[in-house]
Structures are given as structure tokens and as C-alpha cells.
A = this chain, B = another copy of it.
């Protein structure tokens, strides 16, 4: 095992996966989208207010490119103070030299970064039962993009920034019969399980009103999920035929895995699971308001699941220490890119913390 990596699942192909990662350089792709689901008061803390959460994804990726933001004044914050996990991701990029590419899978306002824009408009609230349209187009484009990225022969880290993404994750997983209620993690300290469950219930109800009879995975994800799920699910499915893929996130990446299972069944395509892992942070793994370990087993028993052992308890900054209280846990691929860095020895836990503190020091 690599130092800094926690093995969440027992998995036969773990050592081989690590070997394949070590053979290559990495590449980080962050998929962003905005959904009106995030404007429901109390549903998310990825951004201090419902209005600011419209711009969290854009500000996150602007920071990745410029160490500053344009869409809003500063990087997104939990209302209680600690900064967006983008600070971890940025530190990992700086230390590793890993290049970053952005996929805009539907932001209502566009970020000031070079982005592969595959959907112009933002997503609607899932309670409408129709979160977005043209899912097949997103599938086509993601598949063809995967072929191009695969040619680079790098291991690929797929991250996301989608405020309210754990709610849309819960929605997709529970629709597919996974008992995910009360198990997904959250940017909110005390989670918001009953509100999330209520929103999801309405979403499923309204979706079923629209879709009598059999629905395809495209109908379902575009009805009650989000566009990040189809983009990262499709990319991972086709990338894994060629290179190792790290799904960088917690509950949201479990929803991606859930979608991959359904999509591959629908397409009649074999998934090379030995080339796929989910990697999140220790904060998600230890989240007492959720059950990441249990949920991952429910989604796929023999999935390779990892967590990065990042620890801010010894940080000199109060804003970072607050991560240890569960105020921010994951996002912008933080857990997965840190994990890749530990496996690949681009950095260790100490140098990572130093770089994060350097960035945070410049910010405050």
C-alpha cells in the first residue's frame, strides 16, 4: 500500500491497479455543472448562500487555472468559514505537474477558463422530473472525448464540482434500488437527509408521471440525476478500455459507478473494472452522518475503493482545521488527485499540507 492511502474495500486487483498508475503520468479532468437543485435553501453548503451556489463550480475551476476567481469575488466557502476543497486540488496540481482540463456539462453562467463546453445551459431542479435534455448527445460527445484522452496513455482522474451533487447522487442511486437514503455524505455539517429525501421523492414522482413504462439509463439520468453523472460515467466506461481511471469523489462517484453499471448493461458493453477505482477523502470515509463504506458495497461489492489520508488537525490555520469538524469533506476531485499523488509519489502528506497552507495563507 502507498503511504497516505486508506483501502476502503478488499479488492483483488488493487496492487495491479497501483502498478498501472505508477507506469504512467496523470491527467485531471474536472466536470462542472450547475443545477437549480442547489438553490433549495439548506440543501448544500457548497457556497455560502443559494445565490452564490450558482457560481461555485465556475469559481472552483477559475481558481484551478489562475489562483483567483472571476465569476465571484473569492473561492467558494462553507457558510461557517472553511474554504472550498479546490485548495487541496490546486495544491496537488502544483506539486505534481498534472495538467487539468475542464468539461462544462451545463453551467448557466460560463466560467472564465478554457473549457470543453458540451452543454450551454444550466440544469433544472430534479423535482421537475426533467433535469436536462439531449442526454444521448452528451453520451456521444463524452465517448468520443474519451477516445482522444485515452490516446495520451495517461492515467485519468475524473473529478467534479456540482453543488447539490450529493442530492442528485442520492436521487440516481435510490431510483436504481440502492438504499442510499441517510447514507450519502454532504457539504453540510449535520447533513440534510430528510430534506434531500423529500426532494428526491418529488423528483421520482414527477419523473414517473412523465415516463410511463420502461425508461433507458439516458431517460433516468436526465430526469432525476445530473449531467456530470452521464459525462463521467461514459468517459470512465470507455477510458477504462485503455488506461486506469480514478473516479475522484465520494457519494457522487458512487452514483457514477451505479450509472456505469446500468449504462453498460444497456449498451451490452463489458466494463474493465480492473482499471477503475473510486478515491475520496478520509473526511468522507469518517463522516458519521453518512455511510460511505456501506453505500459503496451496495453499489458494487468488489469495487476498488480508496481514501486519501489528508489531515488538517495539525494545521496552523483555523479555516483548515475546521475540515476536521466535518465542515468540508470533498469536491473538485480533491480526494482522488491527492490519492493519485500519494500512489505516484508526486508528494507526501507533509509536502501536500505545506502547499495547501501556502495557498491558504495567500488567500486570507
- Which residues of A line the B interface, CB within 8 A? 27, 65-66, 97-101, 103, 112-118, 137, 140-142, 144-145, 148-149, 151-152, 154
* 18 more CB-based (< 8 A) A-B contacts, given A100-B148, A114-B116: A27-B152, A65-B144, A97-B151, A99-B148, A99-B151, A99-B152, A103-B114, A112-B137, A113-B141, A114-B118, A114-B141, A114-B148, A115-B116, A115-B117, A116-B116, A116-B117, A117-B117, A152-B154
A151 in complex: contacting residue of B66, B98, B113, CB < 8 Å: B98
Are B99 and A149 in touch, CB under 8 angstroms?
yes
CB distance from A241 to the nearest CB of B (A): 15
Closest 9 pairs (CB-CB, A-B)? A99-B151, A114-B145, A117-B117, A99-B148, A114-B141, A114-B116, A65-B144, A116-B116, A97-B151
Q: How many copies does the complex hold?
A: 2
Q: Which residues of B contact A66 (CB under 8 A)?
A: 144
Most B CB atoms within 10 A — which of A66, A101, A116, A145? A116
Q: Which residues of B contact A154 (CB under 8 A)?
A: 152
Q: Which residues of B contact A101 (CB under 8 A)?
A: 148
16 sample A-B contacts, Cβ–Cβ < 8 Å, listed by A number: A65-B144, A66-B144, A98-B151, A99-B148, A99-B151, A99-B152, A103-B114, A112-B140, A112-B141, A113-B141, A113-B144, A114-B116, A114-B118, A114-B142, A114-B148, A115-B117
Q: Which residues of B contact A149 (CB under 8 A)?
A: 99
Q: Which residues of B contact A137 (CB under 8 A)?
A: 112
CB distance from A62 to the nearest CB of B (A): 10
Report the nearest B residue to A150, measured CB to CB. Answer: B99
Q: How far is the CA of A116 from the CA of B115 in the complex (A)?
A: 5
CB distance from A34 to the nearest CB of B (A): 17
Q: Which residues of B contact A151 (CB under 8 A)?
A: 97-99
Q: How far is the CA of A153 from the CA of B304 in the complex (A)?
A: 30
